[in-house]
Structure 1
Amino acid sequence: MDNLCCFNPVSQVVGGRSSSSTGKGKSHQCAAKYGFSLVKGKANHPMEDFHVAKFVHARGHELGLFAIYDGHLGDTVPAYLQKHLFANILKEDDFWSDPSRSILKAYEGTDQAILNHNPDLGRGGSTAVTAILVDGKKLWVANVGDSRAVLSRNGQAIQMSTDHEPNTERGSIEDRGGFVSNMPGDVARVNGQLAVSRAFGDKNLKNHLRSDPDIRPADINAETDLMILASDGLWKVMSNQEAVDIARSIKDPLKGAKQLATEALNRDSKDDISCIVVRF
């Protein structure tokens, strides 16, 4: 693989070791710049969100790599994803000839590697939303779980990822021998445990879960304002359009990411809140 380490170290703050972290960076090739903010939620467990936000160079191209990994039952799986998922996507020639196929193979191969590392990585799991920006012009978004990517075109929010919720994928879960619980006062859960229908890890539930991502490309043009990647700690309390409106009102993407996290806390979000804002 060509050089994958030409980036500002501030862009690679580990997101699972403290109550909060922030940072920013920019492209050296196009006008894109980013800021991120990760804030521990009010739940009584350590921070379980990790992220990636950086620009790298490979094969004569500049790639913007952005991701949110939202862990559950510990932080070992999202930490593993932070280190390995993008490397697995980019390590083969497939990405340059068929990005969608490369992303699919890497997601499923990384999940298998996580399961093979068990018990080293424990019984937990993680959602993921990833975005790869190629030369500031082409975007590839993929996800498993309920972290989300939203694009803004002329101020209009466009959801680029799919929330994988147990009720919407009940048929797949039941076909795999699982069930979906809908207890009063609680969200739908796979086998009464997990509130997403696709995830990395979760070995005890893996027979009833999927790890294949939804993948969506987009062209970045003059109408494209910004992109937001965030964990469900944000989306549980804020609509796509509300998030876009807040981010667009603040020119600095770092300040925009911080404001989104602050607003989610003000709206009494209990979960960890992780947010990346990319301005084109």
Structure 2
Amino acid sequence: MACDSEVSGFLNTLLRDFPAPLTPESPLPWKALGTALSQEEVEGELTELAMGFLGSRHAPLPLAAALTREAVSQLLQADLSEFRKLPGQEEEEENDEEEEKAPVILTDAKGLARSCFNQLWEVSDQWRKQVPVAARTPQREWVVSIHAIRNTRRRMEDRHVFLPAFNLLLGLSDPVDRAYFAVFDGHGGVDAARYAAVHVHIHAARQPKLLTDPAEALKEAFRLTDEMFLLKAKRERLQSGTTGVCVLVAGTTLHVAWLGDSQVILVRQGEVVQLMEPHRPERRDEKARIEALGGIVYFTDCWRVNGTLAVSRAIGDVFQKPYVSGEADAASWELTGSEDYLLLACDGFFDVITFPEIASLVHGHLVKQQGDGLHVAEELVAEARERGSQDNITVMVVFLRDPRELLEEGVQGPGHSQAGVRSQDLPSGLSQPKASTPQRS
């Protein structure tokens, strides 16, 4: 919770450290975005830059979200033609006919980043005199535990997103409170996972259906992100892909969308509720879809699409489209107040930890920590690693009730020997980050 003195103190410190806007010769205070952005990528990339910068300086969350939204909005409303960047001759020659008819308009990423910082500086200078109420209004307090490790892999290709100030950051003014959580598990490089972590929630917020059908808005956000990343992959010769699962808590409704085998489960009164079925090539409907397109699914060390990928849907994977689909599944559930927590994780966790074990492991941690759940993800990751997982591992536990309350009620789950999983709630038709980021926001 940010008090007025904390907000004004942050703004005074920021403007003391940066007494004037950046000049064309000034170094950027954040890592460059690369060389070029498409116009559709600008909002997401600049939002990510500004939030990362303010977060690194420990800005109060409502202030960081409001500052970012105001600065990015003002920049997007300005004339950005000065940042337009024509594609190079080589890129033009390699465009296919469709792209030649509708060329992607690229903008100078470095110039936009500099302008974004200066806009952020201008807003901070204005707000130092009078901070808007929204920038100092407390947000709902979420207890969220996040832990991510590279493990034995050469690179960390997972990314995760935690946006408790979803409305404030994305300029939504209706009365429905929203929070967004996501895990993306990259393969063949980190580019696709990072891209999805930056853009999926932006696309979701811009969908008119967000207000009437949030699950459909999340599906469309995945589709648009995949479409945009494929264009980027062709421009920059990227071959990576990513699975992903995202959750939007909107008021008293839970909305879930996913691609591939990153998963989310809900624990309610100690019982694991299966919310989704991952997209794997061996699933009957997925195998039939792939083969109908002319692809093949066969077993090497596991079932793979065309002998390569062990997932049948993902963002990216430009050379495996359309066999590896970019179309997400989504579903919604009403929350009753009896739900304990959500657990989002990549396959590096779920490949070695079964659903029935999760509630018992979490309960055991809460007992040891006397109801403090901020480090439960760290213990779950350690357990997965001890059981032999060699993959990147990311776990996010989102408590829907105070973990101390769960401990007091003695909610501990069914134990390791019982099934303890409900699957009747499955949707119809379905058969580098920080090493540790416990958060209370």
Same fold (TM over 0.5): yes
Alignment partners' CA distance in 1, 2:237 and 2:202: 19
Aligned residues: 260
Match of 1:16 in 2: none
The AA in structure 2 aligned to 1:167 is E
**Greater relative CO (CA pairs within 8 A, separation 6+):** 1
Alignment partners' CA distance in 1, 2:277 and 2:197: 21
The partner residue of 2:245 within 111, 115, 129 is 129
Whether contact under 8 Å (1:232, 1:273) holds in the other structure is yes
Whether contact under 8 Å (1:37, 1:254) holds in the other structure is no
Higher strand share: 1
Deviations 1:59-91 (Å, cap 9, x if unpaired)? 243321110000000000101111111010111
The AA in structure 1 aligned to 2:361 is I
Against the structure 1 CA distance between its residues 73 and 181, is the aligned structure 2 distance closer, same or farther, given a 3 Å change threshold? Answer: same
Alignment partners' CA distance in 2, 1:159 and 1:210: 23
Match of 1:138 in 2: 253
Match of 1:176 in 2: 293
Task: Confirm whether residue 162 of structure 1 aligns to residue 271 of structure 2.
Answer: no
The AA in structure 2 aligned to 1:276 is M
The partner residue of 1:46 within 140, 145, 155 is 155
Task: Confirm whether residue 222 of structure 1 aligns to residue 337 of structure 2.
Answer: yes
Secondary structure of the structure 1 residue equivalent to 2:247: strand
The partner residue of 1:34 within 144, 148, 158 is 144
Task: Confirm whether residue 240 of structure 1 aligns to residue 355 of structure 2.
Answer: yes
Deviations 1:154-203 (Å, cap 9, x if unpaired)? 111012122111010110110111001112xx110000000001011001
The AA in structure 2 aligned to 1:33 is V
Whose Rg is larger?
Answer: 2
Give the 5 Å matches for 1:187-266.
187-249=302-364, 250=366, 251-266=371-386
Q: Please, which moves more after superposition, 196-205 or 211-220?
A: 211-220
Whether contact under 8 Å (1:77, 1:121) holds in the other structure is no
Alignment partners' CA distance in 2, 1:247 and 1:61: 30
Structure 2 unaligned blocks of 5 or more? 1-42, 65-137, 401-441
Higher helix share: 2
Deviations 1:207-249 (Å, cap 9, x if unpaired)? 2121211212122223200000000000000011212222234
Task: Confirm whether residue 277 of structure 1 aligns to residue 397 of structure 2.
Answer: yes
Give 1:121 deviation, angstroms. Answer: 6.3
* TM-score for both structures, normalised by structure 1: 0.86
Whether contact under 8 Å (2:142, 2:164) holds in the other structure is no
Structure 1 unaligned blocks of 5 or more? 13-27
Match of 1:62 in 2: 177
Give 1:6 deviation, angstroms. Answer: 9.0
Secondary structure of the structure 2 residue equivalent to 1:254: coil
Alignment partners' CA distance in 2, 1:36 and 1:79: 17
The AA in structure 2 aligned to 1:122 is L
Whether contact under 8 Å (2:140, 2:164) holds in the other structure is no
Alignment partners' CA distance in 2, 1:245 and 1:34: 18
Whether contact under 8 Å (1:70, 1:147) holds in the other structure is yes
* TM-score for both structures, normalised by structure 2: 0.56
